[in-house]
Amino acid sequence: MALVVKITCLLQLFGVVGASVVENMPEVIERSPMVGSLLEMAKQAPSTAETSNAAFWSVVFYAPCVLLAALIYKHYLKTDTSRESMSEKDLEEAKSEFKEGQWSSGLFDCWRGRKDDIYIFCCALQFPFIRWADTVHAANLVHFYGALGMILGLYALSALFTGKGSAWGGPPASGGVALLMLCLCVFFRHRLRKRCDLPANAETVATDCLSWMCCAPCAIAQEARQVEVTIAKEALDPKMEPLTTEQILAPPTTTKKHNIKLTIFGAKGLPVGDMFTSDPYCVCEYTPKGGEKTKLFETEVITRTLDPVWKDQNKKMVAIGEGDVFTFKVYDKNRVLLDEELCSASLEIIRVVEHFDREINLEGGSRLRATLRVQYEVLH
């Protein structure tokens, strides 16, 4: 009971003191030059409308500058995440850093001594939106300008929402847009993990969130380095499985034609034709030795996929001989514009074998490997 009385007395004392402070607050403020100057600055602070207008015009001027820098970066500068801009020595050096099932470098391995690492990190630090968009485009996840438009649009919304009492929404809305931007970056990092054969599960999603919140430029640079070494590995790997011993030792065939049944089973890892996916179909062309190219057939259109499966719906009977060439072109079906060629591959018949069933590399469009599974059987 005595303790309760003491606590009650203390609360009453605090109440009296607090009331006295509140009553004398105007006098205290008037005597304090620092508090007075702060209040004067608050009175002179820009209004909500002025803050909103400043944010709006800053976005209006900033967005075109980023787009102009992106055009210069994409069309006039050679990026390190393309096979064309990497020499054989660079490819060998990048491939040596490839680690199966794990990142080729740590989150903070930004200055390992390689000039490419310094270049990538500087781009991630100075032009994070452009560097990130180029990485997801190189990994064949989305178009470069599509990725840039998404991340730049979210940044513009976040800038417009910034500021207490802003007419655009205020801090809660700005925080919501920032969270949406984080989810977007983590989503594409998760897809990049799958594209580069890295672990991708609920635990990695949590670590990816922490990586982006801890150091966004470091996360962007790490993703760019991973795509670079993956490109190098796939560029230097054999493009087609070697012939088996039985096929090498098989007796040579004559120049006569062999009737075969040709089938295109499907493709994997096709380039993105639309915003996030493609509507692919494949056209098969045949060029006899010393003859002219003719179109044999085309597969049906499989909508919204980068890994189409056509199976047995496109078998074709044709007579072939040694030296003949098959050309396979994969297109993205467009309803309004002309169909866009995504990639292609050529298969030269060096020796006719009884049964041919392989995945051949498709070239063009995608920087990571895309393959097409082709089969033919000799008819007797």
Provide the pLDDT for residue 276: 75
Q: Which of 201, 236, 271 is the last residue of a domain?
A: 236
- Report if residue 210 sits inside a domain: yes
Q: Are residues 184 and 317 located together in one domain of the fold?
A: no
Q: Are residues 116 and 202 located together in one domain of the fold?
A: yes
Q: Are residues 328 and 255 located together in one domain of the fold?
A: yes
Q: Are residues 169 and 306 located together in one domain of the fold?
A: no
Q: Are residues 196 and 263 located together in one domain of the fold?
A: no
- Report if residue 36 sits inside a domain: no
- Cross-sheet strand order for the sheet of 340-348: 294-298, 280-287, 325-332, 340-348
Whether pTM > 0.85 for this model: the answer is no
Taking the C-alpha atoms of residue 289 and residue 323, their distance in angstroms, rounded to an integer, is 5
Q: Which tokens belong to 113? A: 């001594």
Q: Are residues 215 and 270 located together in one domain of the fold?
A: no
- Report if residue 13 sits inside a domain: no
CB atoms within 10 A of CB 104: 22
Taking the C-alpha atoms of residue 73 and residue 135, their distance in angstroms, rounded to an integer, is 13
Under 8 Å between Cβ of 283 and 329: yes
CB atoms within 10 A of CB 116: 17
Q: What is the 8-class DSSP label of residue 368?
A: S
Provide the pLDDT for residue 27: 53
> Which candidate, 351, 342, 343, places its Cα nearest to that of 376?
351
Taking the C-alpha atoms of residue 374 and residue 318, their distance in angstroms, rounded to an integer, is 14
Q: Each residue's pLDDT tens digit in the chain (380 positions)?
A: 444 444 444 444 444 444 444 444 455 445 555 545 545 554 454 555 555 566 667 777 888 888 888 888 877 765 444 455 556 666 676 667 777 788 988 888 876 656 667 778 788 888 899 999 999 888 878 888 888 999 988 888 877 776 544 444 556 667 788 899 999 999 999 888 888 888 888 899 999 999 999 999 999 999 988 888 887 777 666 554 444 444 444 444 455 788 888 889 999 888 887 777 889 999 999 998 888 889 888 999 999 898 999 875 567 788 888 889 999 999 999 887 778 888 899 998 888 888 888 889 888 755 567 889 998 888 86
Provide the pLDDT for residue 267: 92
- Report if residue 197 sits inside a domain: yes
- Report if residue 119 sits inside a domain: yes
SS3 helix, strand, coil % of the chain, rounded to 5?
50, 15, 35
Q: Are residues 215 and 262 located together in one domain of the fold?
A: no
Provide the pLDDT for residue 4: 40
Taking the C-alpha atoms of residue 82 and residue 96, their distance in angstroms, rounded to an integer, is 17
> Which candidate, 83, 30, 26, places its Cα nearest to that of 227?
83
- Report if residue 336 sits inside a domain: yes
The domain that contains 291 carries what CATH number? 2.60.40.150
Domain residue limits at 257: 245-378
Provide the pLDDT for residue 137: 86
Q: Which of 217, 236, 255 is the last residue of a domain?
A: 236
- Report if residue 200 sits inside a domain: yes
Measured CA distances, 252 to 229, 261, 322, 362 (Å): 41, 21, 10, 29
Q: Which of 180, 207, 236 is the last residue of a domain?
A: 236
Task: Kindly tell me the sign of the dihedral angle through the C-alpha atoms of 107, 218, 199, 90.
Answer: negative
Measured CA distances, 15 to 20, 23, 24, 230 (Å): 9, 12, 14, 68
Q: Are residues 200 and 232 located together in one domain of the fold?
A: yes
For 356, residues 6+ apart whose C-beta sits below 8 A from its C-beta are 374, 375, 376, 377
How many separate domains does the chain show? 2
Q: Are residues 249 and 232 located together in one domain of the fold?
A: no
What's the one-letter identity of residue 326? F
Q: Are residues 266 and 231 located together in one domain of the fold?
A: no
Taking the C-alpha atoms of residue 19 and residue 42, their distance in angstroms, rounded to an integer, is 26
Taking the C-alpha atoms of residue 292 and residue 307, their distance in angstroms, rounded to an integer, is 31
Provide the pLDDT for residue 183: 93
Taking the C-alpha atoms of residue 295 and residue 327, their distance in angstroms, rounded to an integer, is 9
Provide the pLDDT for residue 189: 93
Taking the C-alpha atoms of residue 373 and residue 380, their distance in angstroms, rounded to an integer, is 23
Length of the chain: 380
Q: Are residues 267 and 199 located together in one domain of the fold?
A: no
- Report if residue 367 sits inside a domain: yes
Q: Are residues 231 and 250 located together in one domain of the fold?
A: no
Under 8 Å between Cβ of 293 and 287: yes
Taking the C-alpha atoms of residue 372 and residue 361, their distance in angstroms, rounded to an integer, is 6
